[in-house]
Structure 1
Amino acid sequence: MKALRTLPALAACLLGLTACSGSDGGGDSNTGQIDTGPTSGPVSKEALGKAVVGAVPGYKVAAASGVGGKDVRVAEDDEGCLPVAHALAGVALGKPESVSGRRLSGDGVETAVTLGLYDRDGGPAVMDGLAEALKKCAGGFDVTVAGAGQRVAKVVAEVAPQGAEQAMAFGAEVTREGKTVPVKVVVFRKGYTVGQLSATAAKTGTKDFVFPVKVFEAQIVRLA
């Protein structure tokens, strides 16, 4: 397995997992104004909702699935894998001030997009926490998402697209009901926002596919 590394500037490579979708406006969020900075991006629940990616040429947009943290469970022995399980399910990491999400389909790929808004230290903290969890759980673990048991395995590092202050790229094979599906995930931070893009092939049985970089790029632009 490749070594884990985090770059504070543009991009970083990490390990891997899978995805469902995030909740649209989930999380108990009563964000007032957060201290702004040169790359802070959205600073309120309303601004975050407007910042989540919408129109991308060639893609159809749908609402997020509504899966939340309470819907994701791991065994007590795998409790340290919960951040990975949340990222796997498209659930915003940690305790964001507000959450927004959508699903996009195009180019043969289904992509769940989840944005979480954090305070000044929250974004870097959840990125670090996910990195540590990935190191601990790289060998795989069992997770239940909305009552459905899944097995996460073959966690590998992939190259994250550039454009954010921090970014992690993951790949994994996830088995559910006897079917194994490859998934590619990018988790990134831009200012006070942490975004998660979880991609799976739209066609069952596809063994490999290209991560939809254009969706990532469109989301980065919306956060500028």
Structure 2
Amino acid sequence: MKRSSGVRLCATAAVSALSFALVTGCSSDGGSKDSDGGRGTDGKPAAKALGTAELKRLIIAKGDVPGFDVGPVPAARAEPFTTDSAECRPLTRVLSGLPPVDAAAQTDRTATEKRPKAPKDKATSPQDMADGDVEKAMNKSLDADVTTVNLSSYDGDGAAKALAAVGAAVKACAGGFTGKQAGATAKVARVTEAKSTAVGDESVAFGLVIDDDGEKGTVYGEVVRQGNTVASYYTINLGAMMAKKEYAVSAAVLKAQAAKLK
């Protein structure tokens, strides 16, 4: 049975946006060090970054987020989303599962929203459904948040500088920019400011509208600083994207991670 172009284009747009959003960089313990001689601007000992082992104890784990399955980022990692624009790079790093700027240590997790299973007596073959029903069923089956969390830690005022770099990028790159992933060009039509959560010492939230030959989809990110630790999140919901519905970084994931950092 031939499907309408609307169903096909919705799926194409969602998958295209996913290919540029669900990307994860490799973990690293390295990072630049502050050259403040071990002292902060007030003369007191500068804050020291947490190590990887400490971050792994602090990041969300299985059972920490009600309604979500939490586990390691899939081993089959795609190449990171990159850009030649230095000022926009903190955004592409967040959408690659990386800290916004190089950190002393980092670790990551993925939280996937659980979806209720459809009753067997409700199951219907796509071949027996009208185009509109197929689209609705597809949207519903994919309507689940997938959130990647990256925890990173910095010496001195590195965490505050990382957060500031994200805020500056959201403003500077509002008109969009061009990036690449796995050798393909990704056009970001615009960057929008989003309402950030009240967790942590400070936070910045944003949306990236990705344009694939006129088909647009938005992915969302938020970066939160708590002390000298930075939690970076990005969320994609294919069902919401296909249905043109608003969504945001998963509040339950943000809340659970913030609680572990207190």
Q: Which interval holds the TM-score relative to the shorter structure? A: 0.7 to 0.9
**Aligned residue type for 1:20:** L
Shift of residue 79 of structure 1? 2.9
CA distance in 1, matches of 2:171, 2:227: 25
Structure 1 or 2: more helix by fraction: 2
1:113 touches 1:195 (CA, 8 Å); kept in 2? yes
Q: Match for 1:20 among 22, 25, 44?
A: 22
CA shift in 2, pair 1:19/1:162, >3 Å: farther
Cα deviation digits, residues 79-111 of structure 1 (max 9, x gap): 322122212322212221111111111161111
Cα deviation digits, residues 24-70 of structure 1 (max 9, x gap): 74342799xx99x9xx89822101011111231111123225769x8
Secondary structure of 2:87's aligned partner: helix
CA distance in 1, matches of 2:74, 2:30: 17
1:26 touches 1:98 (CA, 8 Å); kept in 2? yes
**Aligned residue type for 1:85:** T
Q: TM-score, normalised by structure 1?
A: 0.76
- List gaps (5 residues or longer) in structure 2: 1-19, 115-143
CA distance in 2, matches of 1:214, 1:41: 29
Q: Does 1:101 align with 2:108?
A: yes
Structure 1 or 2: more strand by fraction: 1
Q: Does 1:223 align with 2:230?
A: no
Tell which has more relative contact order, 1 or 2 (C-alpha 8 A, sep 6+).
1
Give the corresponding residue for 1:73.
82
Q: Does 1:58 align with 2:67?
A: yes
Number of matched residues?
Answer: 199
Shift of residue 113 of structure 1? 0.8
Matches within 5 A, 1:1-16: none
Q: Does 1:210 align with 2:210?
A: no
Secondary structure of 1:128's aligned partner: helix
2:81 touches 2:95 (CA, 8 Å); kept in 1? no
CA distance in 1, matches of 2:162, 2:183: 25
**Aligned residue type for 2:252:** K
Secondary structure of 1:180's aligned partner: strand
CA distance in 2, matches of 1:73, 1:166: 26
Secondary structure of 2:206's aligned partner: strand
CA distance in 2, matches of 1:149, 1:141: 11
1:22 touches 1:102 (CA, 8 Å); kept in 2? no
CA distance in 2, matches of 1:42, 1:221: 19
Q: Does 1:119 align with 2:128?
A: no
2:107 touches 2:152 (CA, 8 Å); kept in 1? yes
The share of aligned pairs that are identical, in percent, is 23
- List gaps (5 residues or longer) in structure 1: 1-17
**Aligned residue type for 2:100:** L
Deviates more, 1:199-208 or 1:152-161: 199-208
CA-atom RMSD, angstroms? 3.1
